Amino acid sequence: MKIIGLQTDTETADLLVHQRAAVVAEASGFIAETVLIAAPGDFKEMPLLGADAPAMLAANRDPFWPGNTKKMLRNIGLDVAAITVADTGVITIS
C-alpha cells in the first residue's frame, strides 16, 4: 500500500504549492520515520503507537523491538518485510 500525503517545505514548514495546487506525494518514508522516533503516548488517537527508537538505541537493545516495530508499521498500512538493527545503531526497513 502506498501512503500519500500533503508535502511541506522542510526549511520553512510551509505547505508546498505547485501551479496553485497543494503538492501531494508518496510519504511512506516520512510515516515510518515518525513512528520510529515517536514514543508510546505521543499520538493521542493511537496511544500505543510509537517505537521510541532513540531510547531503544541508548539503552539495552530489546530483542523483540524489531518484531514489535514491524507490527506497528504494518498496522498503519506500510508493507514491511523485515527490520534490522546493526551494531552501529543503523535501522534498516525493507
Domain boundaries, the chain: 4-93
For the segment 15-27, the average pLDDT, to the nearest whole number, is: 89
Residue type, 90: V
Cα gap 94→89, rounded to integer Å: 16
Whether the per-residue pLDDT at 1 is higher than 80: the answer is: no
For 52, counting Cβ atoms within 10 Å of its Cβ (0-12 exposed, 13-18 middle, 19+ buried), the class is buried
Cα gap 63→49, rounded to integer Å: 18
The predicted structure's pLDDT at residue 64: 94
Cell triple for residue 22? 497543494
The predicted structure's pLDDT at residue 5: 84
Rounded to the nearest angstrom, the gap between the alpha carbon of residue 8 and the centroid of all alpha carbons in its chain is 16
Cα gap 2→57, rounded to integer Å: 28
Whether the per-residue pLDDT at 4 is higher than 90: the answer is: no
Cell triple for residue 86? 546493526
